[in-house]
Amino acid sequence: MDNRPAIGWEQAVIGTVLMDPEAMEVASDLAPQDFTGSHKLIWREVLSLNRRNALEPRALIEALRSVNELDEIGADISSGDLTGEMYLLDVSTRHGALIEEYVRQVGEYATRRQLQETAALIAADAHVSGKNVDELLDEAERRVMALRRTRGTTGTSLAQILNAFMPKLEGMRSGDVQPAFVPHLQALRDVVDYFEQNEFVLIAGRPGTGKSAYLRYEAYYQALHQHPGLFINMENSEDEYAKSFIALATGIDSQKLRSPRLLSNQELTRVREAAERLASLPLDIISMGSPSIAELERVCRSKMRTLKPQYIMVDYVQLIDNGMENRVSDVTLTSKTLRAMAMPNRLNIPVIAAAQLSREIEKRGSNSVPQLSDLRESGSLEQDASIIIFPRIAWNNPTDADIAQFPENVNPTGGLMPRLRAEPVNLYVQKNRNGPTGVTPVVKWVKAWGDYQTLAGGAA
């Protein structure tokens, strides 16, 4: 099939929406696979920018540059005459007033290409498949019907949804398909079981309740099980992450890693061995200083091609700065984008983020249970998150006897350590869009080296 006419219509669509973003009301139903060659890359970024109300030529150029795809643009379409930024600037001049017709033509050519591919698959089945004739006809009909477009929004039929869901269900039952993210902490696993592939999970708390420490704990154990992960750090130095993971791996108090002369020779050997093991784990930590959510998403998307992470962790939401004067609106943009990043048409992996609660919870008293309403001043976090988990210290004015229940808090002579090295924590699952809510039994948070241990219902 000659793609040259299709390329012209595609250029007309791209050029028109770049010059008039309101034309996306008509064009947003087109998907990247409806385009040819590097136009697919362009349209993917056009859709992303449009969702953030940031669609214009320069933004598109920089978005493609940030994921190292700018130089590829146009090379497979313009015979090398125009590529990269020059090609995009040229396409932006190819706009017109008939966006409905341009979109219709792109859809027509895309469907014709897909029909050719489907016909080839049907022919191959007829020649080599062991299926009987009725099965071949059913399969051919299914393939053709899947291509049928409707005017307006192209939806997904219930049959298509079930055809995708049932193999997943059977695979999970047999163990061939694994959940997207299974928390390592048994106590939390007993409540939520696992996180779905397209869920935005929020770990929210006041300072000192362990929300960031819990993210690092889960990232460490996911990496140990060879599940690649991406951790966006906006709060700590990279040295702090080195200390945190070495402390987790060795059980050595992180204070000693801050003052290495306190390490015994034996502990120093353990630290060196742990550092060597940790270096091979599939975990990338990217430190960003108050990025916009658009910058954060571009970094994550670029890592999807190299690291291929199975989850993204963000520490923490309120440190993302989109430059808006209204702080609630700023956080709303952040939360809606994090939610969208988890969806199948974006990154299609769980996004797990820490968030800071307002001081309102403290006004209710030290025994107060965190509520979803504690997030309401933080944009639309409450609405956008699929799962919301509140870690909360279980102690209220603990006695010496309470503190001494944890051996980590007792010195070799039987007295109490000068600082708490372990505290009890409950994790309140106050929202779970796709499953149960509840509160975990008491979990021991070993603050000294960042470990979490389930005290009831099994060990973590």
Q: What residue segments make up the domains of the chain, in order of their start?
A: 1-177, 186-454
pLDDT digits (tens, 9 = 90+) for 349-402: 999 999 988 777 777 766 678 888 888 666 688 889 999 999 998 888 888 888
* Torsion angle (degrees, nearest 10) of CA 87, 93, 94, 100: 120
Average pLDDT (185-212) is 91
What pLDDT is stored for residue 145 in this prediction? 59
Query: Which pLDDT band holds residue 169 (cuts at 50, 70, 90)?
Result: confident
Which of 33-37, 90-94, 157-161, 232-236 is the least confident region? Answer: 157-161
Tell me the mean pLDDT in the region 279-301.
90
The model's confidence at residue 151, banded by pLDDT at 50, 70 and 90, is very low
| Residue bearing the bigger pLDDT, 231 or 206 | 231
Band the pLDDT of 73: cuts 50, 70, 90: confident
Residue 248 has pLDDT above 90, yes or no: yes
Whose CA is closest to 304, among 295, 312, 294? 312
Whole-number average pLDDT of the chain: 85
Least confident of 196-205, 256-265, 374-383: 374-383
Q: Enumerate long-range contacts of 188-192, CB under 8 Å, 24 or more apart.
A: 188/389, 188/427, 188/429, 188/440, 190/440, 190/457, 191/427, 191/429, 191/436, 191/437, 191/438, 191/439, 191/440, 192/387, 192/389, 192/429, 192/432, 192/435, 192/436
Per-residue pLDDT at 168 = 76
**Side chain identity at residue 203, one-letter code:** I
* 3-class SS of residue 377: coil
Is a pLDDT exceeding 80 seen at residue 143? no
Q: What is the pLDDT of residue 111?
A: 81
Q: Give the pLDDT band (50/70/90) at residue 426.
A: very high
The pLDDT score that the predictor gives to residue 24 is 87
Give me the DSSP letters along 247-279.
HHHH---HHHHHSGGGS-HHHHHHHHHHHHHHT
Confidence of residue 277 (pLDDT cuts 50, 70, 90): very high
From the number of C-beta atoms within 10 Å of its C-beta (0-12, 13-18, 19+), residue 289 rates as exposed
| Lowest mean pLDDT across 24-38, 44-58, 124-138, 422-436 | 124-138
Looking at the structure, give the CATH architecture of the domain made up of residues 1-177.
Answer: Orthogonal Bundle (1.10)
The residues pairing with 293 across neighbouring beta strands, listed in sequence order, are none
Residue 244 pLDDT = 93
> Which one-letter DSSP state was computed for residue 407?
G
Q: How confident is the model at residue 330 (pLDDT cuts 50, 70, 90)?
A: confident
What pLDDT is attached to residue 197?
Answer: 85
Residue 26: predicted pLDDT: 84
Min mean pLDDT across 158-172, 247-261, 398-412, 445-459 is at: 158-172
Provide the percentage of residues in the chain whose pLDDT is more than 90.
Answer: 34
Average pLDDT over residues 244-271: 91
- Position 459 confidence tier, pLDDT thresholds 50, 70, 90: very low
**Greater confidence, 274 or 379?**
274
Q: What is the pLDDT of residue 418?
A: 87
Mean pLDDT of 442-457: 87
What pLDDT, on the 0 to 100 scale, is given for residue 454? Answer: 86
Question: What pLDDT does residue 27 have?
Answer: 87
| Integer angstrom CA distances of residue 431 from 70, 259, 338 | 41, 41, 17
In this structure, whether the domain defined by 186-454 belongs to CATH 2.40.10.10 is answered with no
Average pLDDT over residues 112-124: 78
Say if CB 425 and CB 445 are below 8 A apart: yes
Q: Per-residue confidence at 243, pLDDT binned at 50, 70, 90?
A: very high
Average pLDDT over residues 184-203: 92
pLDDT of 304 over the 60 cut: yes
Question: Which helix (H) or strand (E) segment is 335 a member of?
Answer: helix 327-341
Q: Which of 116-120, 250-254, 321-325, 327-331 has the lowest mean pLDDT?
A: 116-120
